[in-house]
Amino acid sequence: MRSGSEGAMFVKVAVVLLCLVNLCNGEDHIVGDSTGWDFNVDYESWASKHTFREGDNLVFKYNSMHTVVKVNSSNYETCNPDLPLSEDDNGNTIVSLNSVGEHYFICGIGSHCRAAKMKLKVTVTGTSISPSMDPAGVPATPSSTSPLHNKDFYVFVSVLSFVCSFIFF
Ligand SMILES: [Cu+2]
């Protein structure tokens, strides 16, 4: 009984650590990895290899030939930068993914979006940890009791938020 609660505590501490790395700070995704934001990268394929969660950041690294323009879905489809939701050209643009849903980015220069596929769509999911999600680094604990009941989970998230807010504010 005692060791069981210690085990649960261990899991909670592990997830708190995970939270500190992934949830509170958010994860930085370097768009296009080492190539950055440039011509003829398959950003659709790049995006498909990443999981974007609320609070994560996109980091666009690019030379002075390019810009980053956040647009809506129809302007993304047509590569139209004339109605930007936001835009930047400083070569190192960090975009906070602060809402769940789809976010669209294009390069606003010439035909870079249309002709050189400088367009990126990411789908952001919420931060909540679902039991089915297997958080990296936390070993699946073989246990007869299910690790997180709904009520436990609710309490746990509250405690987690409290701890996070304490550390970061
Ligand atoms: Cu460009």
The domains of the chain, with CATH numbers, are 2-24+133-168 (no CATH), 28-125 (2.60.40.420)
In this prediction the pTM is: 0.65
Whole-number Å distance, alpha carbon 165 to ligand 1 midpoint, is 39
Residue 97 contacts residue 56 (beta carbons within 8 Å): yes
| pLDDT value of residue 135 | 47
Q: How far is the CA of 114 from the centre of ligand 1 (A)?
A: 10
CA of 128 to the centre of ligand 1 (A): 35
Share of the chain above pLDDT 90, in %: 58
CA of 38 to the centre of ligand 1 (A): 6
Tokens of 11: 């899991």
65 CA to middle of ligand 1, Å? 6
Q: How many CA atoms lie within 13 A of 27 on its CB side?
A: 14
Mean pLDDT of all residues in 58-84: 98
C-alpha distances in angstroms, 22 versus 15, 54, 58, 69, 134?
10, 10, 14, 26, 13
